[in-house]
């Protein structure tokens, strides 16, 4: 858990806003989001479909332009206009594993090209032979055979394709990986394998993860800390066990109640909590992002803060 983090901030996201559309038709889909990720940790980002999780990941890897706020990687601001040198560095050090392994791989390219594509833009240039052996090594590192390099993506199962996506990230020797729902599209039977692979790689290579998911079910096993996002706004952030045992925000509570229980009798009796934003009276006192206790943040106003503080006692 937290002892594996040496508390060096690797990624700092400060008051991030991301919008789509032009002028009057602008929609803000990520609104004033702030969080830090420490080196070596797995930081979970959870929220329902459309809440802005992928948009945040894509802003970090500089695909989505940011409207305001700062994204700082290893002490350097990486959003907006940056030097070519830094852009190259970020492109190598931060990799993303995409949500849908069926859609994210170029169907017309062979695996060796797909896996080695990122190497074409690195400062260091590699020969054909070097690339070939790097691809083979990357495939082996994710549990695939080196001879798969000459095949096309459609020849693989969903789990294997996700491994190809992971190899594509690993070949770049990244420090930080954004895993965007890497197992959601996979059969339940192979989800654990891919999760174990990610966890082994993290240990071997001292990787830091931003792990995105739309529910809390797998998060407990992998995340050190979790941030909960609702409609583009963070509502709660805390250490995993804290969040599971003492969720404060009603939306976090609703997400937790949606996790299936292993005991079928308990599962049948369970009351699903539905989040109703009208429980907050924000007409007079607006909410803000407050550290309710050490390392535990909640979006709340003064009245809610007092209530939460009593719950914690």
Ligand X SMILES: Nc1ncnc2c1ncn2[C@@H]1O[C@H](COP(=O)(O)OP(=O)(O)OP(=O)(O)O)[C@@H](O)[C@H]1O
| Helix (H), strand (E), coil (C) string for 160-171 | HHHHHHHHHHHC
Contact status: 31 vs ligand X (CB under 6 A): no
Specify the stretch interacting with ligand X by CB under 6 A; choose among 48-56, 86-94, 163-171, 236-244.
48-56
Task: Tell me which residues in 212-241 interact with ligand X (CB under 6 A).
Answer: 214
Instruction: Rule CB under 5 A: choose which of 5, 42, 51, 54 binds Mg ion.
Output: 54
Residue among 304, 264, 267 nearest 284 (CA): 304
**Structure token digits, residue 41:** 């940790």
55 binds, among Mg ion, ligand X, none (CB under 5 to 8 A by kind): ligand X
152 binds, among ligand X, Mg ion, none (CB under 5 to 8 A by kind): none
Instruction: Rule CB under 6 A: choose which of 5, 31, 42, 55 binds ligand X.
Output: 55
CB 115 within 8 A of CB 171: yes
6 binds, among Mg ion, ligand X, none (CB under 5 to 8 A by kind): none
Contact status: 49 vs ligand X (CB under 6 A): yes
Contact status: 64 vs Mg ion (CB under 5 A): no
Considering the complex, state which of residue 46 and residue 171 has its C-beta at the smaller distance from ligand X: 46
Contact status: 65 vs ligand X (CB under 6 A): no
Instruction: Compute CA distances 72 → 12, 15, 75, 79, 103, whole Å.
Output: 5, 11, 6, 8, 30
Contact status: 189 vs ligand X (CB under 6 A): no
Q: Token match 């006692």: residue?
A: 313
Query: Total residues contacting ligand X (rule CB under 6 A)?
Result: 12
Contact status: 202 vs Mg ion (CB under 5 A): no
| Bridge partners (DSSP) listed for residue 225 | 43, 239
Nearest distance, CB of residue 44 and ligand X, angstroms: 13
Helix 158-170 and helix 188-205: axis angle, to 10°? 20
Nearest distance, CB of residue 129 and ligand X, angstroms: 39
Contact status: 24 vs ligand X (CB under 6 A): no
Contact status: 40 vs ligand X (CB under 6 A): no
| Bridge partners (DSSP) listed for residue 19 | 28
Q: Rounded CA gap, 211 and 95, in Å?
A: 12
Residues 6+ apart with CB under 8 A from 44: 211, 212, 213, 219, 222, 223, 225, 226, 227, 240
**Interface with ligand X by CB under 6 A: which residues?**
20, 29, 47, 49-55, 99, 214
**Interface with Mg ion by CB under 5 A: which residues?**
54
């Amino acid at each position: 858990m937290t002892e594996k983090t040496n508390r060096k901030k690797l990624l700092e996201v400060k008051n991030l806003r991301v919008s789509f559309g032009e002028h009057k038709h602008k929609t803000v889909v990520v609104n004033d989001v702030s969080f830090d990720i420490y080196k070596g940790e797995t930081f979970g980002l959870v929220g329902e479909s459309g809440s802005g999780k992928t948009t945040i990941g894509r802003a970090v890897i500089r695909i989505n332009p940011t409207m305001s706020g700062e994204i700082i990687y290893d002490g350097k601001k990486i959003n907006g206009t940056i030097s070519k040198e830094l852009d190259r560095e970020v492109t190598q050090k931060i990799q993303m594993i995409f949500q849908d392994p069926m859609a994210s791989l170029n169907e017309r390219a062979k695996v060796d090209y797909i896996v080695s594509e990122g190497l074409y833009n690195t400062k260091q240039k590699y020969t054909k032979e070097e690339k070939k052996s790097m691809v083979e090594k990357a495939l082996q590192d994710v549990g695939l055979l080196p001879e798969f390099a000459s095949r096309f993506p459609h020849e693989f199962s969903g789990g294997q394709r996700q491994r190809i996506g992971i190899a594509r990230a690993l070949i770049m020797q990244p420090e930080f990986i954004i895993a965007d729902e890497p197992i959601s599209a996979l059969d339940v039977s192979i989800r654990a394998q891919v999760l174990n692979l990610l966890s082994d790689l993290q240990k071997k290579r001292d990787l830091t993860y931003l792990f995105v998911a739309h529910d809390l079910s797998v998060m407990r096993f992998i995340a050190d800390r979790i941030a909960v996002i609702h409609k583009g706004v963070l509502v709660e952030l805390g250490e995993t066990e804290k969040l599971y045992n003492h969720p404060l925000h009603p939306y976090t509570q609703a997400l937790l109640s949606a996790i299936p229980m292993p005991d079928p009798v308990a599962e049948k009796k369970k009351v699903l909590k539905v989040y109703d934003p009208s429980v907050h009276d924000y007409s007079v006192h607006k909410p803000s992002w407050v550290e309710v206790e050490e390392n535990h943040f909640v979006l709340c106003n003064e009245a809610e803060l007092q209530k939460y503080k009593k719950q914690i006692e």
